[in-house]
Amino acid sequence: MMQVLIRFLVGGVVVSAFAVIGDLLKPKSFAGLFGAAPSVALATLALTIISDGPAYAAIEAHSMMAGCIAFFIYVSIVSWIMMRYKVKALWVTICAIPLWFAVAFGLWLIR
Amino acid sequence: MLIKINPSALKQTKWHEYLVRFAFGGLITAAAGIIARKFGPEVGGLFLAFPAIFPASATLIETHETEKKQKKGLKGTVRGRNAASVDAAGSALGSVGLFMFAVIVLHFIGGHNLWLVLAGAMLGWLAVSVLTWMIRKRVL
């Protein structure tokens, strides 16, 4: 339970820090780079290596590559839909989440 | 195009918006750990690139840009959605850097100092992301 709490706090701080950096930057396309910052990965991998060792973290990093491809497809589709159809950001970003799951787990299954 | 730092953008963000991003970031980090424990690191690793705070960030950008236009007496809806779309396109470029981050961690984590590897992976992410952004700016 304590480890979950530590992960929550560290993750919250790291993710918020990258989000604030993104808020500060202009133009928007450049600030968007920070929307794909490795904030969750940084917090998770640091804590994982300390608790479970580098071999465990390497397996996570390997799977993360599939997650990255899924993230790329997810944000590209979200961007295109918002630009083309001017749909509310919250709707598109939430409704497209299953796409991330489909691509990430699809790649993981065929690896 | 020049990259600028705009400190006044921080004033636009309300305290509960910071709180939402903190909570989502914390939740997904904790969840990634729990999922890895329950289903193994292969599945847990996928969630290291989960778009945890992306919906909240995109909504925030849309709201702020719309509000800016509304202060000038305009509707601002289209402007807000375009801004969120441009930000998402930037995130797509950033995800190329995110892939590089994973590659660096995967190849150097064994037998090297943890903090050096993570710092190197961060630099790799930043360098690849910025380079991809610059190439896209030059091409389009």
DSSP assignment of B38-107, as one string?
Answer: HH-HHHHHHGGG--SSHHHHHHHHHHHHHHHHHHTTS--HHHHHHHHHHHHHHHHHHHHHHHHHHHHHHH
CB contact under 8 A, A35 and B87: yes
Lookup result for tokens 């390497």 = A58
User: What is the distance in angstroms between the Cα of A25 and the nearest Cα belonging to chain B?
Assistant: 5
Residue A35 and residue A78 in one domain: no
3-class state of residue B4 by DSSP = strand
Mean pLDDT, range B85-112, rounded to an integer? 94
pLDDT band, very low/low/confident/very high, at B12 (cuts 50, 70, 90):
confident
Residue A109 and residue A76 in one domain: yes
Residue A15 has pLDDT above 80, yes or no: yes
What's at B119, amino acid-wise? A
Residue in chain B closest to A28 (alpha carbons) equals: B87
- What is the rounded average pLDDT for all residues in chain B? 91
pLDDT at B112: 86
Domain boundary among A34, A52, A70: A52
Contact map slice: B 107-126 vs A, CB within 8 A: 109-111, 114, 118, 121-122, 125
Residue A3 and residue A48 in one domain: yes
Residue A37 and residue A71 in one domain: no
pTM above 0.95, yes or no: no
Residue B100 has pLDDT above 80, yes or no: yes
Residue A71 and residue A108 in one domain: yes
Give the count of domains, chain A: 2
pLDDT at B126: 96
Residue A47 and residue A69 in one domain: no
Residue A33 and residue A72 in one domain: no
Q: Among A18, A49, A52, A78, which would you mutate to test the B interface (most chain B Cβ atoms within 10 Å of its Cβ)? A: A78
pLDDT band, very low/low/confident/very high, at B103 (cuts 50, 70, 90):
very high
Domain boundary among A52, A72, A89: A52
Mean pLDDT, range A20-46, rounded to an integer? 91
Q: Rounded to whole angstroms, how far apart are CA atoms A54 and B106?
A: 9
What's at B48, amino acid-wise? L
Domain around A40: 1-52
Residue A19 and residue A40 in one domain: yes
Q: pLDDT tens, A37-61?
A: 999 999 899 989 888 999 999 999 9
Query: What is the residue-wise DSSP string for B117-132?
Result: HHHHHHHHHHHHHHHH
Q: Which of B5, B49, B89 sits opposite A71 (nearest CB)?
A: B49
Residue A1 and residue A48 in one domain: yes
Q: Report in angstroms the alpha-carbon separations of A64 from A96, A104, B32, B128.
A: 19, 9, 11, 17
Q: Which residues pair with B4 in a beta bridge?
A: A26
Contact map slice: B 5-44 vs A, CB within 8 A: 5-7, 9-10, 13, 18, 21-30, 32-34, 36, 40-44
3-class state of residue A63 by DSSP = helix
Residue A41 and residue A79 in one domain: no
Residue A95 has pLDDT above 80, yes or no: yes
Residues of chain B with C-beta less than 8 angstroms from the C-beta of A55: 110
Domain boundary among A52, A69, A85: A52
Residue B140 has pLDDT above 90, yes or no: no
pLDDT band, very low/low/confident/very high, at B85 (cuts 50, 70, 90):
very high
CB contact under 8 A, B9 and A35: no
Residue A68 and residue A107 in one domain: yes
Residues of chain A with C-beta less than 8 angstroms from the C-beta of B103: 61, 65
pLDDT at B17: 85
pLDDT at B43: 96
Q: pLDDT tens, B21-80?
A: 899 899 999 999 999 999 999 999 999 999 988 998 899 999 988 988 888 888 888 999
Residue B110 has pLDDT above 90, yes or no: no
Residue A42 and residue A89 in one domain: no
Interface ipTM: 0.94
